[in-house]
């Protein structure tokens, strides 16, 4: 029997210490390319080690990357271009976020050619690749290229495969198990989900309603982290499952994510949290870089989950990537 504090201290010190590693998976996640390690190595090999495939020195080597919307094409490229080896290898990295070639961008690249610099151009095709758009890109390659310069071109359409000088890389949505792991880490952060089994179960059910959408995962994770209560998470599950997924399927016969990932995305019909009649009509979406235009002050999270009540037609910021070139996902909404 332990009679006093001194005896308690002696009793406890007689046992070996149990060292418990702090739960820090969220920190590791931010410093790596989750779920795309093999693809990242293939892109790095193309950029750093693959010899020129072209017989002309005035043409870029081109790597096409094809995949549905919101599968991680832009995130993969952002991680690759943020790699120190890539930044040291190329004198300049140019991003075309709209899928357009602006005169001022061409001027910058032409200046790079004048100084005999090795260039990497990341060209993201939004929608269909028009002949005019590709001719602009060809002009870039013929007027600005130096030996060893490279192009990465991404699109939802497999029509870009004919533009490649190497084998096309095809990305697909993450498997559900991998997507659930990703969602769990960004949702719980430094909190060990094993200590909160009921919340972990709710988070898994919510992840199933998102159907692999990485943008939706980031938005929903922020909403859940704002209130670690069973009641709040149950409310979010009911909302995403009923007011978002089931309502959209009953209206148009498809999951919202399926409409977004098509080569030509179709409009979405959604409902705000806590509202029974105020439907949202998302008419269009596009990506941009934060430095190219003024971003909307209202976020999609504000409209779906918050107290913001704008009317009419307006644009919202769905998500902003934390990696250069800080790609932003914009939605046009009518309420």
- Model confidence over 189-234: pLDDT tens digits? 989 999 999 999 999 999 999 999 888 999 999 999 999 999 999 9
Q: Pairing relation of β-strands 92-96 and 313-320?
A: unpaired
- Give phi and psi for 204, each to the nearest 5: -65, -40
Other beta carbons within 10 angstroms of residue 127's beta carbon come to 14
Q: Pairing relation of β-strands 119-124 and 279-289?
A: unpaired
Q: Which residues face 329 on adjacent strands?
A: 287, 319
Least confident of 116-120, 169-173, 319-323: 116-120
Q: Give the Cα separation of 177 and 172 in Å (integer).
A: 14
Write down the pLDDT at residue 272.
Answer: 85
Q: Give the Cα separation of 308 and 154 in Å (integer).
A: 35
Q: Give the Cα separation of 110 and 46 in Å (integer).
A: 23
Q: Give the Cα separation of 131 and 148 in Å (integer).
A: 26
Write down the pLDDT at residue 23.
Answer: 45
Write down the pLDDT at residue 248.
Answer: 83
Pair of tokens at residue 62: 């081109």
Preceding amide of 325 cis, omega within 30: yes
Least confident of 89-103, 128-142, 165-179, 293-307: 128-142
- 186 to each of 27, 47, 134, 288, 322, how far by Cα in Å? 10, 30, 38, 24, 13
Whole-number mean pLDDT of the chain?
A: 80
Write down the pLDDT at residue 44.
Answer: 96
Mean pLDDT of 8-17: 55
Least confident of 39-48, 107-116, 186-195: 107-116
Mean pLDDT of 153-175: 89
Q: Pairing relation of β-strands 327-334 and 313-320?
A: antiparallel
Q: Give the Cα separation of 27 and 4 in Å (integer).
A: 43
Q: Give the Cα separation of 128 and 133 in Å (integer).
A: 10
With beta carbons less than 8 A apart as the criterion, state whether 226 and 189 touch.
Answer: no
Q: Give the Cα separation of 320 and 325 in Å (integer).
A: 10
Mean pLDDT of 90-111: 67
pLDDT interval class at 70 (50, 70, 90): confident
Q: For the domain 37-170, what is the CATH code? A: 3.40.50.300
250 contacts: CB under 8 Å, gap ≥ 6: none
Mean pLDDT of 271-280: 72
With beta carbons less than 8 A apart as the criterion, state whether 323 and 79 touch.
Answer: yes
Q: What percent of the chain has pLDDT over 90?
A: 30
Q: Which residues face 75 on adjacent strands?
A: none
Judged against a pLDDT cut of 70, whether residue 53 lies above it is answered with no
Write down the pLDDT at residue 225.
Answer: 95
**Cα dihedral: 187, 191, 193, 199 (round 10):** -60
Q: Whose CA is closest to 206, among 244, 240, 156? A: 240
Write down the pLDDT at residue 292.
Answer: 58
Write down the pLDDT at residue 167.
Answer: 93
Pair of tokens at residue 233: 């998470």
Higher per-residue pLDDT: 30 or 90: 90
Write down the pLDDT at residue 116.
Answer: 65
With beta carbons less than 8 A apart as the criterion, state whether 236 and 205 touch.
Answer: no
Write down the pLDDT at residue 232.
Answer: 97
Write down the pLDDT at residue 285.
Answer: 74
Question: First vs last Cα of the chain: how many Å apart?
Answer: 70
């Amino acid at each position: 029997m332990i009679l006093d504090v001194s005896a308690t201290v002696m009793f406890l010190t007689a046992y070996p210490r149990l060292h418990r590693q702090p739960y820090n998976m969220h920190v590791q996640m931010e410093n790596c390319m989750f779920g795309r390690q093999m693809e990242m190595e293939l892109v790095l090999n193309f950029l750093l080690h693959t010899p020129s495939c072209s017989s002309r020195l005035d043409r870029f080597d081109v790597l096409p990357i094809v995949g549905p919307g919101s599968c991680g094409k832009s995130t993969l490229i952002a991680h690759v271009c943020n790699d120190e080896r890539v930044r040291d290898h190329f004198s300049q990295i140019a991003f075309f976020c709209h899928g357009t070639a602006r005169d001022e961008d061409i001027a910058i690249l032409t200046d790079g050619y004048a100084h005999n610099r090795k260039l990497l151009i990341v060209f993201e095709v939004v929608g269909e690749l028009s002949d005019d758009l590709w001719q602009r890109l060809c002009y870039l390659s013929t007027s600005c290229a130096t030996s060893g310069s490279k192009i990465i071109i991404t699109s939802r359409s497999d029509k870009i495969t004919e533009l490649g000088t190497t084998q096309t890389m095809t990305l697909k949505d993450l498997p559900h198990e991998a997507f659930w792991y990703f969602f769990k880490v960004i949702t719980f952060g430094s909190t060990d989900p094993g200590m909160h089994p009921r919340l972990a179960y709710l988070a898994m059910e919510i992840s199933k309603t998102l159907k692999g959408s990485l943008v939706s995962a980031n938005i929903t994770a922020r909403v859940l982290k704002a209130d670690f209560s069973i009641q709040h998470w149950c409310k979010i599950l009911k909302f995403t499952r009923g007011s978002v997924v089931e309502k959209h399927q009953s209206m148009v016969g498809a999951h919202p994510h399926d409409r977004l990932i098509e080569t030509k995305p179709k409009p979405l019909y959604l409902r705000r949290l806590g509202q029974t009649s105020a439907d949202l009509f998302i008419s269009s979406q596009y990506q941009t870089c934060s430095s190219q235009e003024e971003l909307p002050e209202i976020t999609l999270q504000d409209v779906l989950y918050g107290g913001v009540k704008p009317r009419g037609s307006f644009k919202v910021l769905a998500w902003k990537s934390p990696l250069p070139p800080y790609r932003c996902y914009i939605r046009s909404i009518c309420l």
